[in-house]
Structure 1
Amino acid sequence: MLQTSTNFKQFPIFQKLTEDDLLRLQEISIERIYTEGTTLFRQAEPRKTIYFILSGFIKVYKVDAEGQELVTNILHANEMFPHFGFFEQSPYTETAVTLTDVHLLAVPIKEFELLLLEKPGMAIQTMQIMEEKFLEIQEQLQFMQTQDVFHRVVLMLVRFATELGERKDERQIFFILPITNLEFANMIGVSRETVNRVFNHLKKIEIMSYNRKQILIKDFPSLQSYLGD
């Protein structure tokens, strides 16, 4: 599959670039396709590359002192990662592994940093995206610290439906979630049994249905209503 400069236009930070800028970006990028289960980088390895996802899903996680895996994010098409650490010599703070076959663009971080220095507009867009991601993480952490387990599960369902979902009508949203209930639970600090109970409750009251990795939110407004304002 041949890389074209139009691949980059789906990413917000590149949408205002000229065709010449896009061609320059194309010159320093490498198009890659990885199969499911491929580790892109590991926690504590030297930070070398910025990735831009064209299709597929990637799991990002940390390993704590006891060797337990903590899933911190599920990344998908149109996202860049890692989101932090530009102009630093720090290593990767997490591990990234593909959950499905993944098509992405890889840019050496040194080359990307030079491009940001040359293109102030792109640098500003990148900083805005980093700030938005930071605020999103902070808000999510605050919510998780103050809410019970039911509302934590609902928050993640709403987030995944919003980011990954295909609307069927004004109430229904369908999406594929390529993680296990245990990984879902790890993301929000609850047990797998808790996730199962909440899923079964929402299924019983006909707000959602699910089959393996396929989830149909039957009544998205009702699901959102649990989160209040």
Structure 2
Amino acid sequence: MFLEFGLDDLRTNDVSGHQPRSAGQDRFRAPADHAVESFRAGETIYKDGDTADFVYEVVFGVVRITTIACNGHRTVYAFHAAGDIFGIEKRSTRYSCAEAVSEARVLRCSDPRLEAMMISDPAVVRRLWAHVLENAERAEEMCLLRHAHAIHKFAYFLLEMSTPLTVGKAFKLPMSRFDIAAYLGVSSETVSRAFTLLRQRGLILTKGRFVTLISTVALREFVGDALRHRGLESDIRLR
């Protein structure tokens, strides 16, 4: 992370505050003048067309990255949880919108300051490189799942949102079924059916927005079997 935050500040039974995905990796160490900004659920962090002169890291909560097509179709490109970096652009303006799914705290770092940190601290370069690789892996995995059945896409999503700390424990999904549907490219009704089917197969338990993964191994095998059945080589590195 840009700053050293104690894990006591993170709610480990909630996806919106679980242990950072980058735990154990090099963390950014920015000067203390980089204050953490707080956002309410649904509040915009940046919008399409804004100048892309800051990079962000999620300290707490979940952030979604969305775009709206000319025909009004909404797509969720990513969900970012604690420890994730977002907002890195190759262009000078934003092409997407970042919004807080739940109450969220994010750290904002200007491009000049980040460049200075990269020059002075090799750990920052390693962390950014790890971020690039993580995003590439996720894109590859989602591409493999593009033609898979919706229930397998949803199983992948649950694994992607979980951490070792949540295995066998109930954790809260802060995003709505409409957000999940926009991320997976399915209907909200299909998301509801996927919940039901995974429960019937004994892979998950649900209570409201709280989900318990009975076995991540079984879920991985469930997703992998679907891809192999379609003749796709799968080495999905689900976190």
TM-score normalised by the chain length of structure 1: 0.79
Deviations 1:137-179 (A, max 9, x none): 1331x2232322222122112222248x513xxxx24321111
Match of 2:162 in 1: 161
* Residue 110 (1) aligns with residue 115 (2): no
RMSD: 2.7
The correspondence of residues 34-45 of structure 1 with structure 2, limited to 5 A, is: 34-45=39-50
Choose which of 164, 174, 185 in structure 2 pairs with 1:178. Answer: 174
Residue type of the alignment partner of 1:150: I
- Quote the Cα distance in structure 2 between the aligned partners of 1:121 and 1:220: 31
Change (3 A) 1:27 1:162: closer
Match of 1:6 in 2: 4
Change (3 A) 1:139 1:221: closer
Q: Report how many aligned residue pairs link the two structures.
A: 211
Q: Which runs of 4+ in 1 moved over 6 A?
A: none
- Quote the Cα distance in structure 2 between the aligned partners of 1:29 and 1:175: 30
- Quote the Cα distance in structure 1 between the aligned partners of 2:156 and 2:35: 36
* Residue 63 (1) aligns with residue 63 (2): no
Match of 2:208 in 1: 212
User: Offset of 1:8 from its aligned partner?
Assistant: 9.3
Residue type of the alignment partner of 1:76: A
SS in 2 for 1:72: strand
- Quote the Cα distance in structure 1 between the aligned partners of 2:126 and 2:49: 28
Unaligned runs of 5+ in 1: none
- Quote the Cα distance in structure 1 between the aligned partners of 2:3 and 2:82: 16
The correspondence of residues 56-205 of structure 1 with structure 2, limited to 5 A, is: 56-82=61-87, 84-85=88-89, 88-140=90-142, 142-162=143-163, 166-167=166-167, 172-205=168-201
Identity %: 16
* Residue 225 (1) aligns with residue 225 (2): no
Choose which of 29, 32, 49 in structure 1 pairs with 2:37. Answer: 32
CA contact (8 A) 2:63 2:98 kept: yes
Deviations 1:67-112 (A, max 9, x none): 2211111111111112x32xx5421222111122212221112221
Query: Highest CA radius of gyration, 1 or 2?
Result: 1
- Quote the Cα distance in structure 2 between the aligned partners of 1:185 and 1:220: 22
Which structure has greater helix proportion? 1
Change (3 A) 1:93 1:149: same
- Quote the Cα distance in structure 2 between the aligned partners of 1:223 and 1:95: 31
- Quote the Cα distance in structure 1 between the aligned partners of 2:175 and 2:131: 25
Unaligned runs of 5+ in 2: 8-19, 225-233, 235-239
Change (3 A) 1:120 1:98: same
SS in 1 for 2:160: helix
Change (3 A) 1:122 1:205: closer
Identify which of structures 1 and 2 has the higher relative contact order when contacts are C-alpha pairs closer than 8 Å and 6+ apart.
2
Match of 2:231 in 1: none
